[in-house]
């Protein structure tokens, strides 16, 4: 998470203070502390099995989203350079999405509610702050 917060703040999606690095060690201290505090709060108040399920649903959703992106970009932007190529597109991305959704459907209602809350919080943050401040958006 530390690297994610750091990268997002460098792109303007989070406050720039989170991208500050220590002058000597080059460690992103604000991101590290923010991540540590958030993890400590969740670990202190959410049972481990629920925390594991919330992590799983987030990871599965992210992987399904990336799989969808692979198929869409292969079709709409076949010209862009890729670091690697996924074989048998769209079969492999479609199977990945199907299996991820299947596994997500095996998770509890608590997990789905937590995922929905986290997703809404993320979308609100993005559209209220990140979209306006995104450096990627400046090129448009």
pLDDT in tens, 83-126: 888 999 999 999 999 999 999 999 999 999 999 999 999 899 88
- The SS3 assignment for 30 reads helix
- 55 and 71 in a single domain? The answer is yes
Answer whether residue 68 is part of any domain: yes
User: Considering the domain boundaries, does residue 6 fall inside one?
Assistant: yes
- Same domain flag for 28 and 53: no
Categorize the per-residue pLDDT at 133 as very low, low, confident or very high, splitting at 50, 70 and 90.
confident
Q: Is residue 109 part of a domain?
A: yes
The b/e string for 46-60 (b: 16+ C-beta within 10 A; e otherwise) is eeeeeeebbebbbeb
Q: How far apart are CA 6 and CA 10, in angstroms?
A: 6
**129 exposure class (CB count in 10 Å sphere: 0-12, 13-18, 19+):** middle
Same domain for 81 and 54, yes or no, is: yes
Q: Are residues 40 and 92 in the same domain?
A: no
Whether 135 is in a domain gets the answer no
pTM of the model: 0.81
Token digits for 20? Answer: 């500050």
State the pLDDT at residue 10. 87
6-37 per-position pLDDT tens digit: 888 888 888 889 889 999 998 999 999 999 99
Q: Which domain holds residue 123?
A: 47-130
**Count: domains in the chain:** 2
In this structure, the answer to whether residues 1 and 58 fall within a common structural domain is no
CA dihedral 68, 5, 11, 130 (to 10 degrees): 80
Residues 79, 122, single domain; the answer is yes
Do 53 and 40 fall within a single domain?
A: no
Residues 110 and 61 both lie in one domain: yes
């Amino acid at each position: 998470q530390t690297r994610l917060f750091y990268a997002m703040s460098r792109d303007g999606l989070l406050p720039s203070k989170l991208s500050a690095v220590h002058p000597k060690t080059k460690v992103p201290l604000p991101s590290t502390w923010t991540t540590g505090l958030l993890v400590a709060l969740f670990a202190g108040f959410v049972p481990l099995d629920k925390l594991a399920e919330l992590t799983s649903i987030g990871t599965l959703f992210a992987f399904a989203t990336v799989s969808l992106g692979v198929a869409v970009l292969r079709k709409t932007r076949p010209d862009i350079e890729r670091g690697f190529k996924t074989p048998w597109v769209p079969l492999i991305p479609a199977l990945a999405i199907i299996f991820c959704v299947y596994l997500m459907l095996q998770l509890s209602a608590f997990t789905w509610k937590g995922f929905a809350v986290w997703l809404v919080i993320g979308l609100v943050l993005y559209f209220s702050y990140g979209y306006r401040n995104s450096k990627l958006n400046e090129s448009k």
